[in-house]
Structure 1
Amino acid sequence: MKATVDRIEKNTVLLEVEVDQEQFSQALNDAYRKVVKNVNIPGFRKGKAPKRVIERYFGKEALYNEAVEAIIPDAYMKAVEEQNIFPIDQPQMELVQVEEGKPVIFKATVTVKPEVELGQYTDLELVRPVIEVAEEDLAKELEALQNRYAKLINLDEGQVQDGDTVIMDFVGKADGEEFAGGKAQDYSLQIGSSSFIAGFEEQMVGMSSGETKEINVTFPQDYHAENLAAKDAVFTVTVKTIKRKDIAPLDDEFAKDVSEFDTLEELKEDLLNKLKLNAETQVQQSLEDQAVDKVVANAEAEIPEVMINAQIDDMMSNMEHRLMAQKVSLDDYLKFTNSSREQMRAELRVDAEKAVKTSLVLEAIGKALSVEATEEEVNEAFENLSKQYNQDAEILRKIMKSQGRYEVFVEGIQREKTVKLIIEKSNIVEQAAAE
């Protein structure tokens, strides 16, 4: 087999491949044996008709097509590997020569991974942010724990306050008519959660259990139901039950109830350590973001449309899976947000183009710095994944390989190593306290 490659555009190459006549002759014989098994020719037992008879009945082109379909895919893949090109889309094929006794020649117009012109990626100036853990941060964590483990107590007396949970019946009307979704019984609403239309929850503050009140609101201009957008509405609301959080005091008993610690001081120390670890993670993430943003901005690459569209497809698919986990279809979500797939794709385009360029630039830097994921690093990554999903590491590895995601997983490890190496080769300055 012979192969030559010519670049006809920046991200498009023309691959010309010649398959020797011996291989084509073998493919023709294989095609004949395949065809003759499945046809009935008068005067011959099934599978016994000579090749010349098959050619007379079906034409040589039928065998030629069968032979070409058998040899071209393998020849194309070998040529791609031999010429060291990286296709990112299906090739456009053109048969140049198909004739018995001669080599098969075909051309393939291929969109390939773009070349990246790297700019500066070492000696970058990065700013390490100052993230201090203050006493008020610890107080907020403790308050969050108190709220998380608070018990809801039914109030026999009293009025609705911000933070209360109310059980209520309501009926909404616009232009004097009830509308779809505007009616419910025994509905649970936390006041202050901003779950309802602006102004609704605020007007409930001060109501008593058993009280009925008319609440006036205006639907927002961009409301998902077009027939209600910007319309005034009146909700008749009846409060049936008021529930208020019973907040436990911060003491050793509270620590025992919500954690594995025996004292409040031990719980505080643990929370403080977690806050400090989180602060360190934020600092590292900031450095990584700065490093990636700078090397991508410093690089040049002409991104093919097919790569951008493929990235948008992935982003749409990921969003669809997240919605499915919440038992919401993408079509229902689009209807709810008064949008369309075309609008969503257009909105995702900028992020998709940035994601593709980032991936290409980091891959190019990784090659320039000879970054590779070692076997130990891959094994460690799978062990961490096994703890996360409570599944055997080798089983996860086999699943990824069967789904064709193993290489992507390894590339992710290499990408992380590349970013860390960029940071190591950068000049890091401490952020001024005032900043």
Structure 2
Amino acid sequence: MKSAVETLNPTRVRLTVEVPFEELKDSLDAAYKKINQQVTVKGFRKGKIPARVIDQRFGRGAVLEEAVNDALPKFYTEAVNDAELNPLGQPDVDITELKDGETLNFTAEVDIRPTIEIPDYSGIEVTVDAVEVSEEDVDKAVEELRGRFASTNPVERAAAEGDVVTIDLEAKVDGEVLEDGVAAGVQYTIGSGELLDGIDEAVTGLEAGGEATFTSELKGGTAEGKESEVTVKVTAVAARELPELDDDFAQMASEFDTLEELRADSRKRLENMKQYDQATQAQERVLDELLKLAEVPIPEKLLEDEVKTRKHNLEHHQLGQMGLDIEKYLEIQGKTVEEFDAETTEQAVKGIKTQFILDELVNKEKLNVNQEELTEHLMRRAATSGMSPDEFAKAVVEGGQVPMLVGEVARGKALAVVVEAVKVTDTNGEVVDLADDEDETETATETVEAVVEGDTEGDAAAEKTEA
């Protein structure tokens, strides 16, 4: 077999392949055998029809077509390996010549990974938020914990901010009560913002038995997004009572004996959270600077497929879980379809560039992933998928996805190498040393995943929806 490579552009090549006809012998034998099992000819047992009879009855062309379809993947793979190419996606194959008994010639156009020069990144400098935990931050954390241990007691007075009211609701659109617009016995904390806009004002000042009507845009159900006339009736009012902030509370709400110890633990937890956020911020900003330095051609077909995948995942997975469709999402985001398409394309380009550059760094730095790192990553992936580690591991192995997970960890390690080599300072001018972070690789892996897989779109929708 002879093959030649023509470079069409930095990300696409054309392979020209010439195959001597004798190379098709095994595939021709297999084709006759397959056709033998599929057809019947009077006077011959099934599977025992001579090749000349198959040629006469069904045509030599049908046999050749079957043989070529069987052999092409093998010849294409051989040509790719001979040329030491890294193909992306499926090739476009064109049979240019097929002469029975003489030769098979074909071409295959395919996208390939571009050759990338890793730039000198040692001069990168980024600034991140300082890790600072104020007394107000600790107070807020303790108050949130205190709120989880609040009790409620019925009161015979008008409802006020912070009270828990039991209410019945009825929603009408255009004067008609909605089938899913009636609810009874709903408990609601005034001021929490967890139900409809306008409900706080409606129930404040009402005693048990009182009712009010207000207008609000429905946030879910069959009439989501429509203006509705909502009638709310208060059936009970209860005051929330918070426990005293003392050592007894610390012992009830935690493993600590004193309030001072509880506050110290809250401070430590907040510091850890801010350190994690700081590390993520550093990695994101270093990655952005690295991408600016590198020239990375993007295969058009790969970009097209990536954009389609991101849109599909957003619409059918992330938004679906939040009860949103693409139209509502764009409304919440305040974007036009054109703006959404442009942003999705930009993010897809960034994801592909990130993958190409970090994969090249993995090769250049000869980075390996050990079993412990892979297991840790698998455990985190299992937790986010809602599956047990054993279930997730089984699904990964059966789906042949182990190399994918190894690649994710390797890219995280590559980003960590870059971050350790550059200058990171906080807003106070202090140098930040992320090399001391025990979870640096896993944090970097998460950062890379978000860029490569496009998780940020759904997160943005969730944040705005919750707000």
Q: Could you state the TM-score of these two structures normalised by the residue count of structure 1?
A: 0.84
Distance in 1 separating the partners of 2:220 and 2:376? 48
Contact 1:192–1:202 (8 Å) recurs in 2: no
Distance in 2 separating the partners of 1:8 and 1:298? 25
Alignment match, 1:333? 325
Distance apart, 1:61 and its partner CA: 0.6
* TM alignment of 1:160-175, pairs within 5 A: 160-173=159-172
Q: Secondary structure at the match of 1:126?
A: strand
Distance in 2 separating the partners of 1:310 and 1:168? 50
Moved over 6 A (4+): 222-228, 383-390
Q: Summarize the Cα distance change of 1:224–1:37 in structure 2 as closer, same or farther, 3 Å threshold.
A: closer
Alignment match, 1:96? 96
* TM alignment of 1:16-55, pairs within 5 A: 16-55=16-55
**Are 1:255 and 2:254 matched, yes or no?**
no
Q: Secondary structure at the match of 1:105?
A: strand
* TM alignment of 1:232-247, pairs within 5 A: 234-247=229-242
Contact 1:152–1:246 (8 Å) recurs in 2: yes
Distance in 2 separating the partners of 1:278 and 1:228? 36
Alignment match, 2:436? none
Alignment match, 2:277? 282
Distance in 1 separating the partners of 2:242 and 2:67? 78
Distance in 2 separating the partners of 1:224 and 1:88? 43
Distance in 2 separating the partners of 1:360 and 1:30? 40
**Are 1:401 and 2:397 matched, yes or no?**
yes
**Are 1:108 and 2:103 matched, yes or no?**
no
Aligned match for 1:367, one of 363, 370, 382: 363
Distance apart, 1:68 and its partner CA: 0.8
Q: Summarize the Cα distance change of 1:213–1:387 in structure 2 as closer, same or farther, 3 Å threshold.
A: closer
Contact 1:171–1:237 (8 Å) recurs in 2: yes
C-alpha deviations, 1:189-218, integer Å up to 9, x for none?
332233444333223222212112233x36
Distance in 2 separating the partners of 1:353 and 1:243? 54
Which residue identity is paired with 2:363?
A: K
Contact 1:169–1:186 (8 Å) recurs in 2: yes
Distance apart, 1:124 and its partner CA: 0.8
C-alpha deviations, 1:50-98, integer Å up to 9, x for none?
2112101111111101111111112222322332323323211111232
Q: Secondary structure at the match of 1:201?
A: helix
Contact 2:180–2:221 (8 Å) recurs in 1: no
* Percent of aligned pairs with the same amino acid: 27
Range that drifts further, 79-88 or 417-426: 79-88
Aligned match for 1:424, one of 393, 399, 420: 420
Range that drifts further, 37-46 or 177-186: 177-186
Range that drifts further, 92-101 or 364-373: 364-373
Which residue identity is paired with 1:257?
A: M
* Total equivalences in the alignment: 422
Contact 1:224–1:338 (8 Å) recurs in 2: no
Distance in 2 separating the partners of 1:158 and 1:8? 80
Q: Secondary structure at the match of 2:298?
A: coil
Q: Secondary structure at the match of 1:93?
A: strand
Contact 2:315–2:326 (8 Å) recurs in 1: no
Q: Summarize the Cα distance change of 1:425–1:305 in structure 2 as closer, same or farther, 3 Å threshold.
A: same
RMSD: 3.4
Q: Summarize the Cα distance change of 1:23–1:192 in structure 2 as closer, same or farther, 3 Å threshold.
A: same
Range that drifts further, 166-175 or 382-391: 382-391
C-alpha deviations, 1:349-380, integer Å up to 9, x for none?
33333222222232233334333324553355
Q: Summarize the Cα distance change of 1:218–1:283 in structure 2 as closer, same or farther, 3 Å threshold.
A: closer
Contact 1:366–1:415 (8 Å) recurs in 2: yes
Which residue identity is paired with 1:19?
A: V
Alignment match, 2:458? none
Which residue identity is paired with 1:11?
A: T
Range that drifts further, 22-31 or 408-417: 22-31
Which residue identity is paired with 1:91?
A: P
Aligned match for 1:415, one of 411, 418, 425: 411
Alignment match, 1:188? 187
Which residue identity is paired with 1:373?
A: V
Contact 1:166–1:188 (8 Å) recurs in 2: yes
C-alpha deviations, 1:323-369, integer Å up to 9, x for none?
6667x5xxx63476588xx9597363333332222222322333343
Q: Summarize the Cα distance change of 1:94–1:427 in structure 2 as closer, same or farther, 3 Å threshold.
A: same
Alignment match, 1:198? 197
Q: Could you state the TM-score of these two structures normalised by the residue count of structure 2?
A: 0.79
Q: Secondary structure at the match of 1:244?
A: strand
